[in-house]
Structure 1
Amino acid sequence: MIRMVAPAKVNLFLAIQCRRADGFHELETVFQAIDLADVIELETSPEGIHMTSDWPGLPAGKGNLCWRAAALLAESAGTSKGVEIRLNKKIPPGAGLGGGSSDAAAVLLGLNRLWELHLSPEELQTRAASLGADVSFFLQGGTALGKGRGEVLSALPTPHLWFVIGWPGVTLSTSAVYQDWDKQPSAGNTKLSEMLSALEATEASGIAAALRNDLEDTTLRLCPACAELKSTLLERGCSGALVSGSGAAVFGIARDKELADEVTAALSRRGLWARSASSLSSSETL
């Protein structure tokens, strides 16, 4: 049996360049892995892919990226081995935190070991990209600049940051958010160069000032609870706050662990799902 930890991510920067001919969008984004994580146990079975999850209503078959990652690996590697996948879910699904993609990356890495496939990192990345752009990031982890759909990755320095992650309990469809953005495109004012400079300096205040997400206006319009959550994070002392990805999770950057825990507790008292988290480097991811 192999136990894998699958961390969440936030997008510190997300600029949409254009809609491509294939229907996807050309992006520039800065991913940051955080220590909020799902836990996955993988155990060899005689045949087939069998999956269970402790998150109510979460698909456990072909509708789940974990299952699809296992099926893809079995088919492409030509193995008849089976697996039992047990998913202990801590990252809310459909929240813009990359939980499903991270789970898929963990399954690829874990099964490569469990099934003794000996696939190279490059071979795993090829399979990851076919599952989704964010899956590619989670094979690398840490802090990274993503271009293309987000799958063309360059490692960046990892700052030491404390986050408050809030989620209003709403699941947003990524495709629906992008479709709405296409009708009313908007762009932030911060340039990528400002975020990259702030990361080089590893100063939380500079990173907070350089936050950008072109999808945020759309998400806040579709989900008023997200707008309220962002306002609360700022009012409680976070130096910056932003919708992560397409939402509906919103994160704030706190000056230290004490403030992160304090704001998290305040959100929890209001009945909201909230967690404090810190940044992870690539050596700490998966």
Structure 2
Amino acid sequence: MTLQSLRRWNLAGGVITTLTLLGAIFWAFPLYWAVVTTFKFEQDVVREGIDWLPIRFTVEAYYNALFNTKLGLWYLNSLLTSLAITVLVLISSAAAGYAISQLNFPGRRALWWIILASFMVPIPALIINHFVLMADLGLLNTLTAVVLPQLIAPVTVMIYKQFFDSVPKDFREAALMDGASQWQLLFRLYLPMNWGITTALAIITFIGAWNNFLWPFLAITTEDKMNVTVGITQVTDAFGVKYARQLSSAVLAGLPVAVVYLLFQRRVTQAIMLTAGIKG
């Protein structure tokens, strides 16, 4: 490679790096502005001009969000529903993926095609059906109503099936010869061989359940049963909008997901790559 070519590559790399940096700044600026605003007094938030940092530092907005709202209860509701969704989705998806991959039963191929077809239907298109069904079952305004419709996870089933298909048949035959049941095969052989995938799917499922807003917003009307993403919409004031208070509630609502992502970034990336591989 000639010196001129190297210079061209360096110039192209510099341009790409600069554009990437500008894109990152453009993306992160609203988050930065929201966090900075939470440490301002309300009168400083609405004053003229732009203050890149708080003129007077305060944690009043966070104090109000933590002690003058039901944020703790909303956290608990979100934690319960998100954990329930994560556990049930993983168990049902692993069982369905194992059955379709390893068992022969009538309607196996039809079931697989139904799962593939359901993957092509966007979940928001089913909102009305979910609402009518939960109303008919008398489950509206309960945490059960929040959980049940979110158990539809065809992508997770497809990922498990693909992995189970790749497991050598010799392992299964050896376990069957030792008298293992199908449940033992699933939980003692197949799942332990892919704890990495299961962990990645668990993290991304939990994050998705925690961040979900539309369905919990429709299914729950009682403030005590709201999850945190819906509950923070109730942080209002009789004397007008309080930007710092509302933004502090939003920051606290998103904080657990941000912590989970930072701690398990590699697993989240793995899950996204697995999902993208299925969609591809």
Q: TM-score, length-normalised on structure 2?
A: 0.23
Whose strand proportion is higher, 1 or 2? 1
Q: Which has the higher contact order (CA 8 A, sep 6+)?
A: 2
